[in-house]
Amino acid sequence: TQLLEQSPQFLSIQEGENLTVYCNSSSVFSSLQWYRQEPGEGPVLLVTVVTGGEVKKLKRLTFQFGDARKDSSLHITAAQTGDTGLYLCAGEPINDYKLSFGAGTTVTVRA
Amino acid sequence: NAGVTQTPKFQVLKTGQSMTLQCAQDMNHEYMSWYRQDPGMGLRLIHYSVGAGITDQGEVPNGYNVSRSTTEDFPLRLLSAAPSQTSVYFCASSYDYETSTDTQYFGPGTRLTVL
């Protein structure tokens, strides 16, 4: 059983559309990270959120940490083909500095 | 800086064979870790190290050994390969073990197939 549940598992949208990926848990995290992974490469960190209710923006990407620090979301506005990839969330549980990863959401943006 | 490097990129083993996956970083990072990535399961922590001479088990340590004799290197040894160890293996490092405030850098991965 995974500590972090990501949904949806797969997402295919047209260029210019918006999308949201969710990362949920029943556990509380001291921080939560989002990564993007391209085929054949390792994950690359996009953002870290540490405060409940925190919202961070990275160009067209908006990340939100839930008030209770149990969930997070990633919203992409006006998706581009370059946004295609595997998006992973990873959380650091309270009192444990080891990261726990979600299974990932594969995003495909069609031209 | 080369960042985190892993060798080999691809490997095919027969059941029962042993091998070592190499990982090196040139960023003087204290924290290093090994993950395996399987379809639909995300990344799972195998072993980690908070500094030279210190290692500990992660979520799925069985069948794997590690050592950390230097800050730079963190090899992962498969003692007797099994088909269940077919996976993509990633090494990662960060400046400190406090990953909540520190960027974790991943290597490009080693794709291992055990027949």
- The confidence band for B97, taking pLDDT boundaries of 50, 70 and 90, is low
Dig out the tokens for B90 from the structure: 């990633």
- The answer to whether B1 touches B21, Cβ cutoff 8 Å, is no
> Would you call A99 and B48 a contact, using CB atoms and an 8 Å cutoff?
no
Nearest-CB residue to B106 (from A30, A42, A102)? A42
Binned at pLDDT 50, 70 and 90, residue B15 comes out as: very high
N-to-C CA span, chain A: 36
Provide, rounded to the nearest whole percent, the portion of chain A with pLDDT above 70.
Answer: 99
- Identify which of B44, B31, B26 has the alpha carbon closest to the alpha carbon of residue B88: B44
Record: contact A9-B103, CB cut-off 8 A: no
Q: Which residue has the tokens 């996009």?
A: A46
Residues of B with CB under 8 A from a CB of A: 4, 35, 40-45, 48, 58, 90, 92, 97-101, 103-109
Judged against a pLDDT cut of 70, whether residue B50 lies above it is answered with yes
For residue B43, the distance in angstroms to the closest alpha carbon of chain A comes to: 6
In sign, the C-alpha dihedral spanning B97, B101, B102, B108 is positive
